[in-house]
Structure 1
């Protein structure tokens, strides 16, 4: 990592937070500070930079313990509002995935792949305090003789409910287009024919992993904003690709790092966990996630001064190349271009459509900033860091 003029520790920053003396800014605010003062002075002045994103994150779900029945049951199959949950765990533990659809969704019978309600909606309903109908089936054993159990419950009735997401906060992602003559429906949204639109999904310069592109401060135990409550990074996420190509500033130009995150659903707010349905793809969960980046040295100040014009992603055809596993790119575009409302591909001007919300991303970063300034949120020093680029 080299030798730095500024060197801070997590303990020093947390002591300043406890004393109400920590200087906290959002990632967007940090851009001007680094540009005007340089990374060394910025590192001397700023202690924490807050980030945020709010977007569909399909690789999400929840571990739920629904409490013992009388007589006891070993639930091999469980449904919440008709949405199947995986029951191959202990007696009354299960996992419900955000993209699992209800088995009885009438829309699916007419338009296959069009689900109105799924696991992400169950999670939202529970966090919102709504009543959810649960039913379970068991095969019956001596210690668990019950074969059927059902009840109406709320989040407050559950002994434990843990949001447990294997892949969140994707660091950079494709910009999706469709070069064919037919409209297609994907997890990147509806893509019009003949490159009628270009969809992307990132908060750019506000995005958490874009502000620590080489994972100098993020790892096991990093404390984060998750779904409106406090969560933690517990591992690197599935499909984590630290060796993705990068710019000289360390910013990846293709999909790269990911996060495995967890948090107590009973601390969360439904405003920050929204069940969603994408036509022709299915259900998902839109989620608010934010990470505080400690400014330990001038390198971290430089990283957090990243601008949308510094971040590039690949344009990929989701009608031909993506489903066939082809990695061909139609060129690179910056997030400054994407956020401008249009990009140019092969000489054609294409309107851009964000799947992530910049309004909500900013709100996440500001809430996290306020928590830290009020001494309600302290930095979690990671036990080890995410695997980074060599």
Structure 2
């Protein structure tokens, strides 16, 4: 048994042994979980995938007289929620720019929304802020408009209600006679493609399936900066059906996270324009897993062949609320380039960048080895049973 405090001391001394989740999978196969638990201190994970349930909580400050109580806000014509306080706002990643309805966008063109505003700000680009208000005795101004950068905001934090799905659907279109435009991308009719989203053995919650080390207060790599887990995410399912190795066989655990956007990089936060659906935000997240004992070592040794993902027909699931699973396929099969469905070879396409996910795990590893990133003890567990 090790403690997080003991591991942190080793990190400070430059003696901690840190492996990426990909490296740990090989290590556990070669030396076994017991020996791996003794020799390895931290496993770093990573994912870089579209996460629709994301957004920015911000404060524009009172920089002009007379003052204003912003009851309506826009950033680059994307509506923000202003029902918080005088100059606080929130913009969701999937909020669409006004005047950009789906039926007026054609192939080759791009939707623009909250995700693009977030990326623009992190990249240091200017965005147009516009505010309107009714007047009060203490807030007499009716409106203002100006260009701003992220440094003009008093506060700009990424606040994401549901990130880091522990597992998710492989999306296909089996029955519709037309292409379906979804948050999982374009699904061609009659099983012409299968889209999936996860980083497999690198994915944070596959490496801690029972939330033994991840909870409220866990320090994480978020968008290139430092973030924190602030609890389970919305739609968190605590007790899914699992494989013998503890891997959930359906969409299950999720995390709510936050972090200072002024320390982030647009390399790890990128807007996605999904034709016919709208916009989403690819978020880079890396979570360190302290190897406290052999049980956790065994979990962090999860391999792509151990991860089973449900194949679902989106022509039925989202029109008739069907929960039918066509079959389960392994992540190893998915990254091979095709899967078999009823004897048909179906090409697969990832929405998650495995290369960028691995880069995140490696970058987090470097920060820990340099002593620039310490682990935290959760102050509250996340329900897993």
Structure 1 CA distance, aligned partners of 2:221 and 2:342? 40
Question: 1:110–1:229: structure 2 CA closer, same or farther, 3 Å change rule?
Answer: closer
Q: Does 1:358 align with 2:354?
A: yes
Structure 2 CA distance, aligned partners of 1:76 and 1:324? 38
1:128 counterpart residue number: 123
How far 1:106 moved relative to its partner?
Answer: 7.3
Contact 2:55–2:115 (8 Å) recurs in 1: yes
Structure 1 CA distance, aligned partners of 2:318 and 2:129? 38
1:187 counterpart residue number: 183
Structure 2 CA distance, aligned partners of 1:106 and 1:145? 34
Q: 2:326 aligns with which of 316, 323, 330?
A: 330
Q: 1:63 aligns with which of 45, 52, 57?
A: 57
CA shift digits 1:176-229 (9 cap, x unpaired):
000122111100000111000000000011000000001000001100010010
Contact 2:102–2:277 (8 Å) recurs in 1: no
What is the correspondence of 1:1-390 to structure 2 with a 5 Å cutoff? 7-68=1-62, 69-105=64-100, 108-110=103-105, 116-179=111-174, 180-389=176-385
How far 1:133 moved relative to its partner?
Answer: 0.7
Question: 1:81–1:379: structure 2 CA closer, same or farther, 3 Å change rule?
Answer: same
CA shift digits 1:93-139 (9 cap, x unpaired):
00000000110337753559x85211000000001111111000111
Alignment length, in residue pairs?
Answer: 382
Structure 2 CA distance, aligned partners of 1:121 and 1:204? 27
TM-score calculated relative to the size of structure 2: 0.97
Contact 1:40–1:301 (8 Å) recurs in 2: yes
Structure 2 CA distance, aligned partners of 1:360 and 1:110? 29
How far 1:357 moved relative to its partner?
Answer: 0.3
Structure 2 CA distance, aligned partners of 1:95 and 1:344? 43
CA shift digits 1:27-56 (9 cap, x unpaired):
000011111111110000000000000010
Contact 2:102–2:276 (8 Å) recurs in 1: no
Query: For structure 2, which runs of at least 5 residues remain unmatched after alignment?
Result: none
Query: For structure 1, which runs of at least 5 residues remain unmatched after alignment?
Result: 1-6
3-state secondary structure, aligned to 1:22: coil
Q: CA RMSD in A?
A: 1.3
Where has structure 1 moved over 4 Å in runs of 4 or more? none
3-state secondary structure, aligned to 1:248: coil
3-state secondary structure, aligned to 2:316: coil
Structure 2 CA distance, aligned partners of 1:232 and 1:134? 28
Structure 2 CA distance, aligned partners of 1:374 and 1:317? 46
TM-score calculated relative to the size of structure 1: 0.96
Question: 1:108–1:64: structure 2 CA closer, same or farther, 3 Å change rule?
Answer: farther
